[in-house]
Amino acid sequence: MEFDTRLDDAIRKSRDYLLSRQVEDGYWIDELEVNMTITAELIFFMHLTGTVDLEKQEKLAQHLLNKQREDGSWPLYFGGPCEINSTVESYTALKLAGFPADRPEMMRAREAIFANGGIKKTRVFTKIFLAMLGQVSWEVCPAVPAEIILFADWFPFNIYEMSSWSRGTVVPLSVVISHKPVFHPPEGRGIKELFTDDDSELAIQPDGSMFSSWRNFFIYLDRFIKFVGKSSWKPFRKMALKKANQWIVDHQEEQGDFAGIQPSMINSMLVYHYNGMSKDDPKWVKGLEAIERFLIHKDGGTLMQACVSPLWDTAICANALCDSGMPTDHPALVKAGEWILKKQVTGKGDWIVKNPHATPGGWAFEFYNELYPDCDDTAEILIFLDRLNLPDQSYKLKETERAMSWLLSMQCKNGGWAAFDIDNDKELLNKVPFADHGAMLDPPTADVSGRVLWMLGRIGFKKENPQVRRLVDFIKNEQESDGSWWGRWGVNYIYGSWLALTGLKSIGEDMSQPFVRRAMKWYEDHQNEDGGWGETCESYKDPSLRGKGESTASQTAWAVMGMLAGGEAENPAVKRGIEYLLSQQKEYGSWYEDEFTGTGFPIHFFIKYHMYQQFFPLMALSRYRLSFA
């Protein structure tokens, strides 16, 4: 079959497949797969709150067993090494669910835990859950005093200097920790068999004197705070708890969600429980309903997602369909656009603290998250809406103007855009003992900024615009010496480079410049023998692995689109990438990949968006075809 015919057939089949997956209301959504801590923690939650559903617990446990590997461990992402937190939490959840320690799966899990450093190597969040479950002392956990909520907005360490996801977790956790609750599992359901002599000191230890590093300074400060906390004299505690509890109530959505993510949801519901809230209270009932909406039942088991992504999936899917040549007044696109327009945020959220003069607008990632619209989703949606031909164009124009006003107000001082906040970049916060996940901040990044620039170019902004000039400078300054760009929200340099280059192309940058040529050479040098591109999640920890990994459909699509943005449509490397995508397409127009190519927290938390393997290949094939139209 001729190449052009195969390309056309692949685009048609992919388009038909995606259309078959659209939900009646107009949106697209698929599983957001993450590591097993999220599912294990739902079992913890049920035991801690006395709400164990035995049938649900059995299915959650079955999913944990389905995901256990031959060596007994649970990884952070597909193909990754043993991840100690995921393995310890999965083991603990299975013990709570009644699995005996001498069961073969449990014996293998223990071997993996011991081989990878044991309890001592677990993160702060895991130790906090173990403290609640009565398995370790609260003394090993860093202090999170409720009084932090009293710090004024101008104070360097107030909660609004934290990223939105940290803020939504730290505030409820500070209340939980003030209770220092201890649950005692039934006999035989604890994890005492996991402890060794090496676990005699589980608290974070300094590696020098107090003033030898910021890390050590905060460890000693943490010890002082815990020492003072033992005193009965806490003059501001009552005021702090009152404010924190009200903050939590105010941050619960009408539908029951908290910040649209599992950690905020679980910890806020634990606050309700430890504060003695009735299980008949509407806030509790709605909260449980929100948790239920995060569950997926499959393969004889049940999993909990960390988040859901309907607006993200819908906008990217719709843009891929537009790229494929679908008429912009197609009923499926119209239905998607009308659903999206109804989901725009119209109220003030946490972003207002650092951006007080802006008018609300934009879109969130999830179904319900009115307080946290984000710039990435908003830019992607505005690209789609700009292309869309709706029956009521005046309504679309009004709503896009509202969103555009909000998005433009979210530019940071250095010219870039972050995900949820402006100027959320006080690096010292990542040095506090609580922040061992390294994600206390939400600074501007090249990938989000590239998508915003892509959108601005598409709707007609010019390079001479002052905001655009600052944005272009920011993106250029973020380029690595080898020509690539780091990716904050996708794995990794393949993703960041695609969005940076696409934004620069969209705004009219001369793509023959040396800095762009370096990026093209980087893509060429990192293509795999099979014609595809891939990158391991380990590249966040070890930059020498950037651009290296098994080929995947989504990452190959990003690389192809990055090279197309650089004017390389006729480059043989691009043709080989297209051939790879054609060869990997399934009979009914879909693609499949095991790898996790989305990023939650670099190094610490990764995501497999199940839609990525579908709409990004269609987008790449379609743009390649358009390059020769």
Active-site option among 30, 222, 350, 376: 376
| β-pairing verdict for 598-601 and 301-304 | unpaired
Q: Which amino acid type is present at position 338? A: E
Q: Which residues pair with 374 in a beta bridge?
A: 363
Q: What is the CA angle 552-442-449, rounded to 5?
A: 60
Contact call for residues 409 and 364 (beta carbons, < 8 A): no
Dist CA 69 CA 116 (whole Å): 15
| Residue 319: its H or E element | helix 310-323
Cα distances from 114 to residues 106, 117, 122, 415, 422, in angstroms, run 12, 6, 12, 47, 43
DSSP letters along 448-460, please?
HHHHHHHHHHHTT
DSSP letters along 62-77, please?
HHHHHH--TTS--BSS
Q: Is 376 a catalytic residue?
A: yes
Q: Which residues pair with 32 in a beta bridge?
A: 609
Q: Which residues pair with 608 in a beta bridge?
A: 33
Cα distances from 108 to residues 521, 538, 542, in angstroms, run 45, 25, 29
User: Three-state SS for 374?
Assistant: strand
Tokens 């070890």 correspond to what residue? 542
Three-state secondary structure of 267-287: HHHHHHHHCCCCCCCHHHHHH
Query: What is the helix, strand, coil percentage profile of the chain, to 5?
Result: 55, 5, 40
Contact call for residues 145 and 239 (beta carbons, < 8 A): no
Q: How far apart are the first and last CA of the chain?
A: 20
Q: Tokens for 602?
A: 């670099």
Among residues 609, 613, 611, which one has the least CA distance to residue 306? 609
Q: What is the CA angle 256-407-602, rounded to 5?
A: 70
Among residues 361, 489, 358, which one has the least CA distance to residue 418? 489
User: Three-state SS for 499?
Assistant: helix
Q: Which residues pair with 298 in a beta bridge?
A: 301
**How long a stretch of residues is the chain?**
629
User: Three-state SS for 334?
Assistant: helix
Among residues 591, 49, 92, which one has the least CA distance to residue 320? 591
Q: How far is CA 519 from the centre of its chain?
A: 26
- Residues that are catalytic: 376
